[in-house]
Amino acid sequence: MRAKRKADYHHGRLRQTLIDTAVKTIARHGIDALSLRELAARAGVSPGAPYHHFSSRSELLASIAEEGFTRLEARMIAAREAAPKSASARLEALGLAYVTFAVSSLGYFRVMFHGDASASGPTVAGLRAFHILRDAVVACQEAGQAPNGDATGLVLVAWSAVHGFATLWVDRALPFEGLEPERLAPEIGRLVTAMFASLARPA
């Protein structure tokens, strides 16, 4: 069985095994607990093996971030397509998909916005996910469900709301009475779309 594992690694599976192991480690112990030497030990390979795929810890984190954004993009697209055809309903669905991704994919989520992973700029998948959100906000504007004008500020408000809530949840910073994250998660998107709709109405 051990020989088979090594053979599989030589056929290109080691890279994904290292990413999967790193994601699990980060989810349990945080990014600071991750090192390539420790990762090799957890994966059951020699200390030098990870360097065949990642020249540094930062390169490994960047690869995890790219994969995380790819997964987030897929989750957002699926949620958008499953939502009612209303622009505001689709924006709500994206917000909930973002939060549920963060909670269910904690190892990825911790890395995706970490400085070491984003030092070289936004990932390709990250930009695609951002444009999905931007397109949803623009659709709300076109439907009269958000104020007209430059959509950038609205996009940042929507993103900040769901990202901030997701971060508070995964960091276990919502212990206060009445702040049950499971109950509040769907409300975040509803509040954002209600605010946009209210701003779109004539004074």
Domain formed by 60-200, architecture: Orthogonal Bundle (1.10)
Question: Whose structure tokens read 């992973």?
Answer: 117
Closest CA to 155 of 166, 139, 170: 139
Q: Which residues contact 160 (CB under 8 A, 6 or more apart)?
A: none
CB distance 93 to 189 below 8 Å: yes
Question: Which of 7-11, 102-106, 166-170, 197-201 shows the lowest mean pLDDT across its residues?
Answer: 7-11
Q: pLDDT for 98-138, tens place per residue? A: 999 999 999 999 999 886 666 566 788 889 999 999 999 99
* Percentage of the residues of the chain whose pLDDT score is greater than 90: 61
Place of tokens 């995964």: 170
Q: What does pTM read for this prediction?
A: 0.86
CA dihedral 50, 54, 55, 59 (to 10 degrees): -140
pLDDT, residue 4, reads 42
Sign of CA dihedral 57, 70, 139, 194: negative
Backbone angles phi, psi at 44, to 5 degrees: 80, 30
Tens-digit pLDDT profile for residues 10-56: 446 888 999 999 999 999 999 988 888 888 888 888 888 888 888 88
Nearest to 43 by CA among 16, 78, 82: 16
Find out if CATH 1.10.10.60 is the number for domain 1-55.
Answer: yes
Spans of all domains in the chain: 1-55, 60-200
Q: State the pLDDT at residue 53.
A: 86
* Rounded Cα gap, residues 186 and 93, in angstroms: 8
